[in-house]
Chains A and B, each alone.
Chain A
């Protein structure tokens, strides 16, 4: 069965960076991409960007351009999302989700809480 398992919760200081992992299993990793979606406390879902697991092409949300980098390691079927220059409003649960342009996000990771606090 398809599973996306994310790394554990993180606490970071403002200005630091965080890197969240998402290990996929149960399907051919390179046949899909991975989107990253975040949800601030009490708020809605915000799409952060997408990476193709086939060729590494990326598409980032405009508001995060320059601060976010998404990568994949096909040898371990793992996707990574790094967010730099963290601010307090980056505090959120970060989700990875399987998908690619034109198809829905059909499987989701369990979420990773990132807390940014001095």
Chain B
């Protein structure tokens, strides 16, 4: 069971902006870095954002991340049809033997 809560879906027209929230607790988001993963249909997840707001090489600056307290946010600007995918937040959890946790996932639809 996911302990990080995300909205099930968000949508916007091409060129617009969407934001995806990820809500956790002090044992996970509150005290650890947050990552975001993009999963295109039928493919493995891909790292999109790490350490709350850093982008791996090759990820366009249309994607951004932020964190405040026990919540994190992924932003996508200049929305493109190729951005239609599922997005997951993730972080390590500091509670006893909790390991790593993922968010519930958000489906982004480009209208």
Residues of A bordering B, CB below 8 Å:
35, 37, 44-47, 49-50, 59-62, 95, 97, 99, 101-111
Contacts of B37 in A (CB 8 A): 45, 105
A-B contact pairs, 15 of them (CB 8 A): A44-B103, A44-B105, A45-B45, A45-B102, A45-B105, A47-B102, A50-B99, A59-B99, A60-B99, A62-B97, A97-B45, A101-B100, A104-B35, A104-B51, A106-B50
Contacts of B105 in A (CB 8 A): 44-45
Secondary structure at chain A's binding surface: helix, strand, loop or mixed? strand
Chain B: residues with Cβ within 8 Å of the partner, total of 25
**Contact residue among A45, A59, A101, A104 (Cβ-Cβ distance under 8 Å from B47):** A104
**Contact residue among A35, A44, A101, A108 (Cβ-Cβ distance under 8 Å from B46):** A108
